[in-house]
Chains A and B, each alone.
Chain A
Amino acid sequence: MLAKNPTAQRFIRLFSALILTAGCLSSLTAQDATREVDGREEAFDAGKMIMHHIADAHEIHLIGDLVVYLPVIVYSEKGLDIFSSKRLYKGDKRHFEHTAPDGKVSREHYYRYADYAMYHEHIYLADADGSISFDPESGEVLNTAVMDFSITKSVFGIFLTCGLLLYLFITSARGYKKRKGQAPKGVQSFMEPLILFIRDEVAVPSIGAHKADRFMPFLLTVFFFIWIANMLGLIPFIGGFNVTGTLSVTLVLAAIVFIITTVNGNKHYWGHLFWPPGVPLPIKFILVPIEVLGIFIKPTVLMIRLTANITAGHIIILSFVSLVLIFSEAGVGAEIGVGIGSTLFMIFMFFIELLVAFLQAYVFTLLAALYFGDATQEAHH
């Protein structure tokens, strides 16, 4: 049926070829992954690989040996130090046997440069001999951690997102100035429906028409920041940013929401919080603590929801990759077969993630707007 159409036929053939190539490629990567350095072959650990990819890093690993080293900025009792992370990664790499508290022994490594040692992307002040020591019971690092203000992968992702935001919206704003009163064009025409969506579907229904104006700049910024950062994390070969899946970032966003809500809370809001009307006195004693807790829980939930959703998406896609790597041990046939299947699933997941990228930005903005609306609501009874 489909085969009768030559274009469809060609498309199917091309698509199958692509999937097959992707499958073979992923199997090749799998072989690479199992061949660890030092001549020692180590079994592929999916959990470790996934965690490594979604965690922050001091470098951006593009593809193969192509790595962008980011600046390390540390502050400790030794003072402020700025150097390239290449000095760590390409410097003194030390391996050791690490015994976990449960008795499991694994081969680990850390990097050392000058007074610093980096273990699992955390930078510590190294011991006098340049090593790091562990607490034998808890397995925690005993060395003092430095204040790490490095431009890490996530921070770089934030800057990239901010740069894109500035470029996109200052261009749009210029469009409005240039074509005053005319129909939008270019970037401007792509952004205007989204801006209107935030204003008319998010801000105005939640906050009310005349009070919404005050919150519009924040809501727009937060929506586009989250959306663009989410999408940045979906682009392959640029290092797999996980900006909005980083708790530190969502913490900042949620904290700003909390501050704006608290600062803008009017008499009616605080009155309802500390002295809920129309409720018998004993109930008030139960309700007030819950309400007070609520003002902290609300932004916390915002923070966790965003991080969890974005990280989960990354984990799923990485899991499909891992699947191929795991099956690579069962032979080339299984490898390619699973590779094709995984690639198909990954394509499907990428589409879902595109939706989630928008959805989570929308949900965060909508809930923030609802909290602002709550805080500024006037008495109506």
Chain B
Amino acid sequence: MLDVSIGTVFWSTIAFLAVAFILAKFAWKPILASIKEREDSIESSLKAAEQARKEMSQLQSDNEALLKEARLERDAMLKEARDMKDKIIAEAKEKADSKYDEIVKEAKGAIRNEKMAALTEIKNQVSELSLEIAEKLVRQKLESSEEQKKLIDQYISEAKLN
């Protein structure tokens, strides 16, 4: 155990070095390379995920900005539309008012004309009636004043019925 035997030294040197070289070439090199590769791929995947997350949040904020803009635009459009509506309504109202005024004015004119015509006719008839009444009065004047009065009333009522 504690004495060094040349045979054991000889065999252990050969065996150990042979195994070390074989393992270095066929085991450690591929194993360490694979582990490194896997670690690198995990790291790059994590980085990519982080990048994606960042991009996602960037996109989200972009979206939000876009949404905000859209909302603003919509508001503006709505406002414009409302204004337009108000304007159209106001315009229409104005037009209607003026048209109304015109129609009323026309109607008034027509009414006035009709009224004039009617009045003229009434005047004419009144004058005709007056002439008839006067004629009849003149005809009966002679008989009695009482009778005359009665007669005038009667004529007048007759005339009203006409």
Q: Which residues of A contact B (CB under 8 A)?
A: 51, 54-56, 73, 147-152, 154-155, 158-159, 162, 165-166, 169-170, 172-173, 176-177, 180-181, 192, 195-196, 199, 213, 216-218, 220-222, 225, 242, 245-249, 251-253, 256, 307, 311
Contacts and interface: CB of A to CB of B under 8 A. Distances in A.
The 9 closest A-B pairs by CB, nearest first: A248-B8, A217-B24, A169-B27, A176-B34, A221-B20, A149-B7, A155-B11, A162-B19, A217-B28
Given A166-B22, A221-B19, A248-B12, A148 B7 contact: yes
Contact of A173 (B3, B6, B30): B30
Contacts of B2: 247, 307
Given A155-B12, A177-B30, A248-B12, A196 B35 contact: yes
Interface string B15-44: 111111011101111111011011001000
B11 to A, nearest CB: 4
Given A149-B10, A152-B8, A181 B41 contact: yes
Contacts of A245: 1
Contacts of B144: none
Contacts, number: 124
B23 A158 contact: no
Contact of B23 (A148, A155, A217): A217
A181 B37 contact: yes
Interface of B: 1-13, 15-20, 22-24, 26-32, 34-35, 37-38, 41
25 contacts: A51-B1, A55-B1, A56-B1, A147-B6, A148-B5, A148-B6, A152-B5, A152-B7, A158-B8, A158-B11, A162-B18, A170-B23, A170-B27, A173-B30, A177-B30, A180-B34, A181-B34, A181-B41, A195-B32, A196-B35, A217-B24, A217-B28, A245-B1, A248-B5, A249-B8
B15 A162 contact: yes
B2 to A, nearest CB: 5
Chain B interface SS verdict (over half)? helix
A220 B23 contact: yes
Given A221-B16, A221-B24, A307-B1, 9 more contacts: A147-B7, A152-B7, A154-B8, A158-B12, A162-B15, A162-B16, A220-B28, A247-B2, A252-B9
Contacts of A220: 23, 28
Chain A interface SS verdict (over half)? helix
A152 B16 CA distance: 16
Contact of A247 (B1, B6, B16, B31): B1
Contacts of B19: 162, 165-166, 221, 225
Nearest to B8: A248
B7 A169 contact: no
A242 B29 CA distance: 30
Contacts of B30: 173, 176-177
Interface centre among A55, A158, A180 (most CB of B within 10 A): A158
Contacts of B34: 176-177, 180-181
A311 B16 contact: no
